[in-house]
Structure 1
Amino acid sequence: MKISQRLKLIESMVVNRYDHIWDCCCDHGLLGAKLLENDRAATVHFVDVVPDLMREVSNKLERFYPVKNEGERRWQVHCIDVALLPLVDKTNSQLIIIAGVGGELLISLVEAIIAAHPLQQLEFILCPVHHIFEVRKALKNLGLGLIDEHLLEENRRFYEVLHVSTHSKLPISLVGSQMWDLTRTLDQRYLQKTLSHYQRIESGQLSRRINTTTSVTDVSAEDVSNIIKQYQALTLDKK
């Protein structure tokens, strides 16, 4: 089964076996199928809100992973909003994977899941496509802790992948900690690209909203200056 480098990285970060893994916004189900194939969970759940897509995923699962006995079913398909995941059994280990969505949507989904299950120990693997600084800040404010994090580039786009949990005591850095290796050209390019982005905002070359709405992507001039300083400090820390 051929999957993208990003999905390969996410799959490699699932080092434990869980009672339930929720592959959210699962697209064509490739990641969930790989986790199912490698027996990373007692039950792998495929979740998306698009009915036609979920019918396609269900048909493929029935073909390649047929259920002979309903009591032995190792996968389930859910055509629901990710915010409404039915995490019923509080004693079971749960890993929720959300990838390929924007930062604002990702934050709202994680907030909703935690609010609906405040007493449950949960783990998340998250890979937003935008607004990673704001995502990290929101996760930190939710009291989540870091388990692991990685940086990769695919199709000329950079991605940060975060493995976090409600029970980890390791703080989440707003600019990343474990993922950086500034001896690598990839990391150097990503850091420079990120710094250039915020420096353009600071100089007014990019339009920005300044405290006009409650959007998580709103930033003040002071916020941008602080973000730049935190990224710049990475080069000093790694020397």
Structure 2
Amino acid sequence: MSLLRLTTVRDLDGEPIATVDAQFVSSTYHPHTWMVIATSDDDGDGDHSGNTAHLDSYGPFADPDGARAWAEAHLTPYNTRYTAVPLTAPYTYADVEKALGKPVPTKKARPARANTVARYFKPYTITRLRYGTRTDTPRQGFTARETEHPELGPVVELTALGPDRHERDRDQELMQSVLRLDHPRYEVTDEGTRLLVRRLSDAELHARADQAAARVAPHLTGLTTT
């Protein structure tokens, strides 16, 4: 079984079909094609710690030898790391529960923490300011505080501050993008002048992964090999 987190699945023309966070299972009882999953670095600075790496997928290929031969010709010359993986219909948490005959264990939901969420923005040119700072402060930045929302429950409230409205909007969009793209554990609600960040429970993450798998499954089963 391979866990391919946030993997982009492409069709035969190389066009992206969907991005999924699901498990894919290899089985002799299920038809499948093969994909090449390559690891590349975003910033190109030689840092191979894994902090900036992302996955790129190529294929599908009819067999593993064909997948590896393509990768050796097109990826190895550039020192790109890769692996050939079988691609079948997603193996969802619902499938796991059915096989086990019991629910998949999940941890108790925990609230989002202001300090944790704020740390995600350190690599960017946006500074955390003390809560209570005036909205039109000459300093550009944001505040983060933990609060209780009547519908969402415990959330972290993020508010962009600064003298320029355009820059405040830009910072808010940046924070929203960072959380949605890099930290799928969190759900972000945009309320115009502030963002409300809620930490998803394991059960919610499982349900969302299954929903993503259901959306992409018809495309996977309909692929034809070359």
Which structure shows the bigger proportion of residues in strand conformation?
2
TM-score range, shorter chain: under 0.3
Larger Cα-atom Rg: 2
Higher relative contact order (CA 8 A, sep 6+): 2
Q: Greater share of helix residues, 1 or 2? A: 1
Q: TM-score, normalised by structure 2?
A: 0.25
